[in-house]
Amino acid sequence: MPGLLFDMDGVLYEGERPVAGAAGVIRWCRDQTIPHLFLTNTTSRPRQALARKLERMGIHIDAGQILTPPVAALRWLRQHARGPVALFVPEATRGEFAECEIAADDYPGPVAAVVVGDLGEGWDFATLNRAFRLLMDPAEPPLVALGMTRYWRAEDGLRLDTGPFVRALEYACGREAVVLGKPAAEFFHAGVENSAAGLPSTTASRPHAYSRARTKG
């Protein structure tokens, strides 16, 4: 087996409860020196926090083995975008893009890419319209989506996630987003490229409509 990509939420743990047998499987992979990576759509928690969470469950991995949409997006931007990047992501996620030239809020464009994550309460008409206007530049900068999660379950009820705002912008500008998050192929490809030994043949993932038990960072 050339390698394995593991989903995390629902595969290794459910909320704060480890999935039975998960720790053993990961240990076996390491013992057999099978290259493996962990994929998650979580954008609100740094990778170190996720690694510590696994640690508490007896699963010992390096934070660098976790592929999140921002990490995959950064890889994608390195290859495809030259110039300032407009970020529409929560504060906790901005740090992942530290090596990029970030366009200021009043930057008129053109930008090299428009990156959209779970901005939550940060979305208002002016902000979404600003993303739209940047996308309508004749240079047609790519729209990069940090996942397409529809919504998540907060303590006070359901909350819109990244996907709906990406769909709004796709419809408005008439172009499709590059989606870097499950279940987009591009995200799994990034995992394959990140994986130490090249091509893994299998992924362990369960489809779900929204990220359960998500914790704000």
Please tell me the number of Cα atoms within 13 Å of 144 on its side-chain side: 28
Q: Does 31 bind its own copies (CB under 8 A)?
A: no
CB contact at 8 A, 92 and 44: yes
Binding test (CB under 8 A) with its own copies, winner from 136, 183, 205, 208: 136
Q: Does 18 bind its own copies (CB under 8 A)?
A: no
CB contact at 8 A, 26 and 62: no
Instruction: In angstroms, give the least distance from the CB of 158 to its own copies.
Output: 6
Nearest to its own copies of 75, 159 (CB atom): 159
> Which bin fits 112, alpha (ψ -120 to 50), beta or left (φ > 0)?
alpha
Q: Does 169 bind its own copies (CB under 8 A)?
A: yes
Instruction: In angstroms, give the least distance from the CB of 170 to its own copies.
Output: 8
The continuous run of DSSP H or E covering 25 comes out as: helix 22-31
Mutual orientation of helices 125-135 and 162-173 as an angle, nearest 10°?
A: 50
Q: Does 121 bind its own copies (CB under 8 A)?
A: yes
The continuous run of DSSP H or E covering 114 comes out as: strand 113-116
Q: Does 202 bind its own copies (CB under 8 A)?
A: no
Q: Does 157 bind its own copies (CB under 8 A)?
A: yes
Query: Taking contact as CB under 8 A, which single stretch among the options 6-14, 84-92, 115-123, 197-205 is the one that binds its own copies?
Result: 115-123
- The size of the interface with its own copies (CB under 8 A), counted in residues, is 30
Backbone angles phi, psi at 213, to 5 degrees: 55, 30
Q: Does 129 bind its own copies (CB under 8 A)?
A: yes
CB contact at 8 A, 150 and 209: yes
Binding site residues, its own copies, CB under 8 A: 119-126, 128-129, 132-133, 136, 150-151, 157-160, 163-165, 167-172, 174, 209
